[in-house]
Amino acid sequence: MAYFSFRACCGFMRRFNDYNLIAPIYDLLGKLVYRGALHQSQLHFLSELPKGKSILIIGGGTGRIIQPVLELAQPSALYYLEMSGKMIALSQNRLKGLSDHPVQFIHGTQDSLAPNLKFDVVITPFFFDQFTYFRLAKIFLQLNQHCEPGSYWVWSDFVTPKKAYHRFLMKLMIWFFKASTNLDTDQVYDIYPVFELRNWKCLRKAPYFDGFIETALFQKQS
């Protein structure tokens, strides 16, 4: 608590990872810098997911991922959990005119999920790379409680930069997102051990943008 209060004060009392300010330009920025790799990486494993299941998307942003998930995974229920009110509004706009869809929007965080809700698939698109290691591990554990053995997890994030121009881009992004969203971290972390520790097996992974972006499909083991 004391740690949180200290950090909150440093952020001039703004909450962390607040995307309301940049929501209208977020997709455009991503397209300009990463030429579609952000979106493409999130779609990589969608066609391999079992159909007719219950899916959670957390931190989905403007909702560009919703339509592909509906088409490729044909979920029975799709929970769209977003902390930013502006992002939720943009996402809801995309479904205007569609009367019959299984999407339930939840304006909140991992703490807003009813404890008894279970998901067959969890999708975290560029979500974990916003947090300190302590925070991301804690959120992972919370989401893990909503999954039974056999569940799938589609993860996509930036990874530790290994090339000079990736390091430059990482510095630029951290500077930009600190200023615009009060980003909660100074670096990205290796997420694989976090999954492995809780018995999630990486089935396959794929690199994007010359290895600066990674996506992976995990399955929870019994």
Ligand X SMILES: C[S@@+](CC[C@H](N)C(=O)[O-])C[C@H]1O[C@@H](n2cnc3c(N)ncnc32)[C@H](O)[C@@H]1O
Contact residues toward ligand X (CB under 6 A) are: 17, 19, 38, 58-61, 81-84, 87, 109-110, 125-127, 130
β-partners of residue 103 are: 78
State which residue, 32 or 164, has the beta carbon closest to ligand X.
Answer: 32
State which residue, 63 or 75, has the beta carbon closest to ligand X.
Answer: 63
State which residue, 104 or 164, has the beta carbon closest to ligand X.
Answer: 104
The nearest distance, CB 80 to ligand X, in angstroms, is: 10
Tokens of residue 218, six digits: 């995990």
| Residue in the structure block whose two tokens are 């229920």 | 77
The nearest distance, CB 68 to ligand X, in angstroms, is: 12
Backbone angles phi, psi at 215, to 5 degrees: -130, 145
State which residue, 110 or 144, has the beta carbon closest to ligand X.
Answer: 110
The nearest distance, CB 222 to ligand X, in angstroms, is: 28
DSSP conformational letter for 36: T
The helix (run of H) or strand (run of E) holding residue 94 is helix 85-94
The nearest distance, CB 42 to ligand X, in angstroms, is: 6
Other beta carbons within 10 angstroms of residue 39's beta carbon come to 17
State which residue, 28 or 149, has the beta carbon closest to ligand X.
Answer: 28
The nearest distance, CB 51 to ligand X, in angstroms, is: 22
Could you tell me if 13 and 183 are in contact, meaning their C-beta atoms sit under 8 angstroms apart?
no
Strand order in the sheet with 147-158: 103-107, 77-82, 54-58, 119-125, 147-158, 213-220, 200-208
Other beta carbons within 10 angstroms of residue 2's beta carbon come to 6
